[in-house]
Amino acid sequence: MKRAATFTINNFSEFRKKMLNWLKPFNIFCLLDNSGYHFEEPAFECLVAAGCKAMLEVNAGNAFEALKEFNATQHDWLFGHMGYDLKNETEQLQSNNFDGVGFKDVHFFVPEIVLQLSKNSLTIFCEGDAEQIFSALQFSSGIAEETIFSSLEINSRFTQAEYINTIQKLQQHILRGDCYEINFCQEFFSTDALVDPFSVYQKLISLSPNPFAALYRADDKYCICASPERYLKKRGSKIFSQPIKGTAKRFLADEQMDETSKQALFNSEKEKTENVMIVDLVRNDLSKVCKQGTVQVEELFGIYSFPQVHQMISTISGELQDGIDWSDVVKATFPMGSMTGAPKKRVMQLIERYERTRRGLFSGAIGYIDPQGDFDFNVVIRSILYNATDRYLSFQAGSAITFYCDAKKEYEECLLKVEVLKKALGR
């Protein structure tokens, strides 16, 4: 059983950098960072899991049952991820597209050490000497702000013309009644990338701090994440989901233009239509695991501002049925509706047909379950995935496709979303 020890922190920002450097020797770790966003009262600013006492790593097939059994034997913190292609188990689908990064569909581990960092204190959960861990953290150096990267050539799976042609085909599916809305994504990649994930993460969150940021490592595979979106959170018997649908560019140098862009997003019937479709899908998913009559929309069409974009976010909540396992909650709601569209199974079939790479960890989730059974998971978007052995680097972006959308504007939205990722890579 892990014991908790709390220490005083004098300089939060400097200590946070030291914590990054302290993580470097660990082959498995997960750092979750809210970047100073306090949408609700936070229990921490950063939550870090390092080292591995026990691990589950499986692909779709019998993953949820394996996850339930693994969780039942641990009674401890769990950290890890669920990849998008876990859909093959929830909906009996297939993934045949290329995957250059290679994350497993499910990877969870029981950490040796958990660090819970707040503005003024650090709580260390461990079975060993907490004083020794704290001393090592204090004497660690910070990650360099600027690092020279190898020359990266970023390629795209679609030309603009190919992308527009594909969107027109998807709109024909919508016209025929196959679906109402589909989240279509494209990959940007480098096949000979040599980067330092730690300094890339440091650069990314300095450019684009977001409330569900993460730096995650599973051996030679990394996720460098600046996500603004929550997938699922459980506190006590209550469950929350906060899907994002609706994006507008920010104009940080012009306050009036920025406010105009924000108001245009709030007043856009197109964006509201897309958002409410996903809200209805999430309400339906949560109703499978919540007590009858408890699922409600706490906020509809909320506009939140992040460094690069304004986003339209809705919040749906419910009271969980008694005795339900957290893995069953995920099974009923995964993949998240904001990254699929509606109806979910049909659009995932179309995604597999028209996208040119497997999503893998992209549009999956990273997070934790605490010893009391509460959990919080993000949506893996605005993220760089990296296989250090194969030197393959990947990031994807997508948008909601409806019959009335403008394909050229959807393409430009994808470019807007990946702009900061390219900057973090020195491009």
pLDDT at 42 over 70: no
Residue 148 belongs to some domain of the structure? no
Whether residue 146 lies inside any domain: the answer is no
What pLDDT is stored for residue 159 in this prediction?
97
How sure is the predictor about 38, in pLDDT bands with cuts at 50, 70 and 90? confident
What pLDDT score was predicted for residue 37?
84
Looking at residues 225-247, what average pLDDT do you find?
A: 95
Work out the percent of the chain whose per-residue pLDDT is above 70: 96
Residue 372 maps to a domain: yes
Each residue's pLDDT tens digit, 70-126: 999 998 999 999 999 999 999 989 999 999 999 999 999 999 999 999 989 999 999
pTM of the model: 0.96
**Which residues constitute the domain of residue 196?**
3-141+154-424
350 located within any domain: yes
State the CATH number of the domain containing residue 384.
3.60.120.10
pLDDT for 259-284, tens place per residue? 999 999 999 998 999 999 999 999 99
Average pLDDT for the chain: 94
The answer to whether position 149 is within a domain reads: no
pLDDT of residue 44: 79
The structural domain count of the chain equals 1
Indicate whether 147 belongs to any domain.
no
* 3-state SS track over the chain: CCEEEEEECCCHHHHHHHHHHHCCCCCEEEEEECCCCCCCCCCCCEEEEECCCEEEEECCCCHHHHHHHHHHHHCCCEEEEECHHHHHHHCCCCCCCECCCCCCCEEEEECCEEEEECCCEEEEEECCCHHHHHHHHHHCCCCCCCCCCCCCCCEECCCHHHHHHHHHHHHHHHHCCCCCEEEEEEEEEECCCCCCHHHHHHHHHHHCCCCEEEEEEECCEEEEEEECCEEEEEECCEEEEECEEEEEECCCCCHHHHHHHHHHHHHCHHHHHHHHHHHHHHHHHHHCCECCCCCEEEEEEEEEECCCEEEEEEEEEEEECCCCCHHHHHHHHCCCHHHCEECHHHHHHHHHHHCCECCCCCCCEEEEECCCCCEEEECCCCEEEEECCCCEEEEEEEEEECCCCCHHHHHHHHHHHHHHHHHHCCC
Average pLDDT over residues 293-312: 95
In a domain, 163, yes or no: yes
- Is 60 exceeded by the pLDDT of residue 287? yes
356 in a domain, yes or no? yes
* pLDDT of 375: 95
* Residue 424 in this model has a pLDDT that exceeds 90: yes
